[in-house]
Amino acid sequence: MSNEQLMYVTNRKKHGSMLFSEYVKFPAKSNSGLKNNGKVFVATSGMEFGTLVDALITQRDRVDYKSPQYADAKRVADHLMAKYSFIEHAQKQVAFTGMLTDGTRELYMKGLLDFYLEHGDSRTVIDMKITGASLSSYESTIKHFGYDDQLWIYGNLAGAEKRILLVYSTKNKRSELMERKMDSGYNEFYYRALHEHGKPTQALIENCRWRSAVR
């Protein structure tokens, strides 16, 4: 694209594991906030099921043990924890913040990662999705909901080289790890968000002042 240019994150900060109620208080833009444009959506039964599985794996103090979906959610959570050994060792619900910029504009961003793996200089972010779609057609779901955009900003906030989706299909009753290959330096959705919601960088302001002064 003609307007494509390098995008990166500065002032990256890892805040550690935290509750969602604490995370939402950060005065920064989130992927879901930008995607939903500030709208609040009523959770569907499928979304509630996914949230319950997520809580069983990452934050058990958030589990609704009285939920009619608890037994099914526990079976899925047990399957995932038994199949993927990294879950036990990964840092869970880790919050990151950072300033997304392309040198001309900047946007303060935040992300709450399901799983974060750090070994030496190697970093991996893994986002878990529980879906009613078939695994064989999940690429269209990824595109429809913009999951690659979410992983792009998560990876950049964490400085991670690897970005992976952990997907469980209630239709197939199977799970799969899907590593996503992407250009860390550019994302079309975030380029638009940066120029719609971001503010000019100090460097750009100073440059404009200098140009005005020499005219």
CA torsion through residues 38, 40, 45, 49, sign: positive
Q: Domain residue spans in the chain? A: 8-37+89-214
Task: List the one residue out of 49, 60, 47, 120 whose CA is nearest residue 87.
Answer: 60
pLDDT interval class at 38 (50, 70, 90): low
pLDDT in tens, 56-76: 999 988 899 999 999 999 999
pLDDT in tens, 80-135: 999 999 999 999 999 999 999 999 999 999 999 999 999 988 999 999 999 999 99
**What is residue 133's DSSP assignment?**
S
Which residues, including other chains, have CB under 8 Å from residue 172's CB and lie 6 or more apart? 134, 135
- Cα separation, 193 vs 25, in Å, equals 21
pLDDT interval class at 207 (50, 70, 90): very low
Task: List the one residue out of 146, 126, 165 whose CA is nearest residue 32.
Answer: 146
What's phi and psi for 161, nearest 5 deg? -85, -30
Whether residue 34 has pLDDT greater than 70: yes
- Model's pTM, two decimal places? 0.89
pLDDT in tens, 165-194: 999 999 999 999 999 999 999 999 999 999
